Amino acid sequence: MKLILRFLKPHWKLCLITILFVIVDVVGALIIPTFAADMLNQGTAAGADFSALVNTCVKMLAAALISGVATILGAYTCSDLTSKVGADIRSSLYKKTLRLSGADFRSFGTASVTTRTVSDITNIQFALLSCFQMLFPVPVIFVVSLVLTFQKDILMGVILLGILLIIAIVAGIIMKSTAPMFRKLQKKLDTMSKVLLENITGVRVIRAFDKESSEEQRLNTEFSDYAGTAIKVNKRFAILDSISNFAINMFIILVYTFSGFRITAGHFQIGDITAIIEYAMLSLFFLMMAQMVILTLPRALECCNRVSEMMNFSPTIADRKNKWAEEKENCQDVLTFKKVSFRFADADEYTLKNLNFTCRRGETTAIIGGTGSGKSTVASLMMRFNEVTDGVVLLNGVDIREMPQSQLRERLSFVQQRAWLFSGTIAENLRYGNSEATDEQLWHALSIAQAKDFVEALPDKLESFVAQGGTNFSGGQKQRLSIARALVKRPELYIFDDSFSALDFKTDAALRKALIPETKDAAVVIIAQRISTILHADSIIVLHEGEPVGIGKHEELLTNSPIYKEIYDSQTKEASEHE
């Protein structure tokens, strides 16, 4: 609820206008039967006054007109208001998502973050719209109906009050009892999305292993589980529906039963019967509408809780609010690891232990090691995607925790192991880190990245279409485009995390040769499994089970580091066997 109020606050004027239109609409709808009753009373009275009849008729028309205009304007302002609130919540949640660290993201789960941002907020938006249009009028209509009924006849007023109270109590009980079910429903929706996402992204593996039927069964179980709970919820609301219907019909029966006596006793006139029944029917109509809204409320409240949970979540890696330290100008030691150890929050063992090295301007630092030795984790610490457990990472002489994350990431270009491109054009992707780059600069970066030839061969060249994730390009082409994107940014530090693995030896060698003059003013980190990729690095760090077991140049390591020698021997043997 706090969440809704927080996002409604900036639109309070629109909110007030909407409420005003709703009230005018509802009061207008109730005044019409009052005038109708007056006309009936006037028409059936002895010596009917025609001019009074016309007068009431004009008032009735005016009420209908005002109510109609209020309905249209109310619907317009209401959808305007709820769309704005929905958009504000979504963009605020998205901003928060961008600030989450990898561990934070994993704790929520990709499917859940997507469901919260898309479907949960849509649910909230829809519930808000329904509340304004169908729920808020209910108390107004109840109060106005009761006042008008009491004015006509106290007994009828008391009966209507009793019936409305019974309905309100039943609605309250049902809402309370279904709230946990809605919570369950949203969780099931998360699980369903997770399984579905996994199935869609892994569809090729499913087909390749001929697992369609077992996966179909797994999904069907999720679908029927969800449907089962939804049916239970709907059954409860069907009970509320029948009780309300029964109660209002009882009221109408009572009105007809008692009206003869009341008219004879002179408590009200014949036209008042129609008015009282119309008030009850209108109350019933809005109540039915409100029930539909109530049906969505526990779900919307659960969605609010889920969205609030993410909004109020404190990212494990956050910028401090104190004064930032100043980086040293033209610092030769661009990035330094000092006694760095790291353990994942959910792991018992350290993934990296006691790392000490410096990446200097104009030099290439390489990190090599077997699979799972911690190479990518080193890259994630450089970018502060994870926080060091012990020790410190310095950028231009400053602890990276002492600078805003945006400042740190401005200084570096990262090419990840699994190249990722965004949907759009090649040019848009290349300009991702430098929107001002000219076409000439893009072609230059493509030529360094050994991607110029294949981009030139495309009919639309730089304007060629890139599908989401870059799936319309081969692995090697994606890697080269990602490298070109990193080059266009012209940072102080390049991190290539196994970014040459999909390239053939010749292209790999040509690319690294072209990189040397291009990156002469920057520090370069190359993470690789292939020794040929890092052979000429100024400094090579050999990682084994998270520990540095050798640091030096290729020739030094061949004599000093048995593990490096072992990797070298196995790879050269492999290469000669290939030949």
Ligand X SMILES: Nc1ncnc2c1ncn2[C@@H]1O[C@H](COP(=O)(O)OP(=O)(O)OP(=O)(O)O)[C@@H](O)[C@H]1O
User: Which segment (314-322, 334-342, 371-379, 450-458) binds ligand X by CB under 6 A?
Assistant: 371-379
Q: Which residue number, 352 or 511, has a Cβ lying nearer to ligand X?
A: 352
User: Which segment (114-122, 199-207, 365-373, 472-480) binds ligand X by CB under 6 A?
Assistant: 365-373
User: Which segment (373-381, 420-428, 500-508, 513-521) binds ligand X by CB under 6 A?
Assistant: 373-381
Longest CA pairwise span in the chain (Å): 123
- With CB under 6 A as the contact rule, the residue among 210, 329, 346, 440 that binds ligand X is 346
x/- letters, 377..396, toward ligand X (CB under 6 A) = x-------------------
User: Cα torsion at 232, 237, 242, 245 (round to 10°)?
Assistant: -170
- With CB under 6 A as the contact rule, the residue among 374, 433, 470, 491 that binds ligand X is 374
Q: State yes or no: residue 347 binds ligand X (CB under 6 A).
A: yes
- With CB under 6 A as the contact rule, the residue among 105, 237, 313, 344 that binds ligand X is 344
Q: Which residue number, 110 or 376, has a Cβ lying nearer to ligand X?
A: 376
Instruction: Give the pair of three-digit tokens for residue 236.
Output: 């409860």
Q: Which residue number, 145 or 365, has a Cβ lying nearer to ligand X?
A: 365
x/- letters, 195..224, toward ligand X (CB under 6 A) = ------------------------------
Positive or negative CA dihedral for 427, 432, 438, 443? Answer: negative
DSSP 300-326: HHHHHHHHHHHHT---SS---SSPPPP
Report the alpha-carbon distance of residue 487 to residue 517 in Å, rounded: 12
As measured in angstroms, the least distance from the Cβ of 572 to ligand X is 19
Residue 11 DSSP SS3: helix
User: Cα torsion at 232, 236, 237, 239 (round to 10°)?
Assistant: 140
As measured in angstroms, the least distance from the Cβ of 339 to ligand X is 19
User: Which segment (92-100, 203-211, 367-375, 564-572) binds ligand X by CB under 6 A?
Assistant: 367-375
Report the alpha-carbon distance of residue 432 to residue 264 in Å, rounded: 84
Residue found by looking up tokens 């990797």 in the block: 567
**C-alpha count within 13 angstroms, C-beta hemisphere, residue 157:** 14
Q: Are 272 and 33 in contact (CB under 8 A)?
A: no
x/- letters, 518..557, toward ligand X (CB under 6 A) = -----------x----------------------------
As measured in angstroms, the least distance from the Cβ of 390 to ligand X is 16
Residue found by looking up tokens 């993470």 in the block: 527
Residues 36-75 binding ligand X (CB under 6 A) are none
Q: Which residue number, 372 or 475, has a Cβ lying nearer to ligand X?
A: 372
Q: State yes or no: residue 371 binds ligand X (CB under 6 A).
A: yes
Report the alpha-carbon distance of residue 58 to residue 440 in Å, rounded: 75
Closest CA to 14 of 90, 70, 63, 82: 82
User: Which segment (180-188, 344-352, 390-398, 407-415) binds ligand X by CB under 6 A?
Assistant: 344-352
Q: Which residue number, 348 or 555, has a Cβ lying nearer to ligand X?
A: 348
Please state the length of the chain: 579
Distances (CA, A) of 308 to 347, 429, 551: 28, 33, 48
Residue 412 DSSP SS3: strand
Q: State yes or no: residue 375 binds ligand X (CB under 6 A).
A: yes
Q: State yes or no: residue 116 binds ligand X (CB under 6 A).
A: no
- With CB under 6 A as the contact rule, the residue among 107, 114, 229, 376 that binds ligand X is 376
Residues 423-442 binding ligand X (CB under 6 A) are none
For helices 137-152 and 154-201, angle between their N-to-C axes, nearest 10 degrees = 170
Q: Which residue number, 330 or 371, has a Cβ lying nearer to ligand X?
A: 371
Report the alpha-carbon distance of residue 279 to residue 286 in Å, rounded: 11
Report the alpha-carbon distance of residue 192 to residue 186 in Å, rounded: 10
User: Cα torsion at 418, 421, 426, 428 (round to 10°)?
Assistant: -140
Q: How many CB atoms lie within 10 A of CB 416?
A: 19
Count of residues that interact with ligand X, criterion CB under 6 A: 13
Q: Which residue number, 167 or 393, has a Cβ lying nearer to ligand X?
A: 393
User: Which segment (171-179, 310-318, 372-380, 512-520) binds ligand X by CB under 6 A?
Assistant: 372-380
Q: State yes or no: residue 348 binds ligand X (CB under 6 A).
A: no
Closest CA to 418 of 458, 358, 478: 478
Q: Which residue number, 34 or 351, has a Cβ lying nearer to ligand X?
A: 351
Q: Which residue number, 376 or 507, has a Cβ lying nearer to ligand X?
A: 376
Q: Which residue number, 208 or 347, has a Cβ lying nearer to ligand X?
A: 347
The alpha-helical segments, DSSP class H, found in 394-504 are 405-410, 426-430, 439-448, 452-456, 475-489
As measured in angstroms, the least distance from the Cβ of 369 to ligand X is 6
Binding positions for ligand X, rule: CB under 6 A: 344, 346-347, 351, 369, 371-377, 529
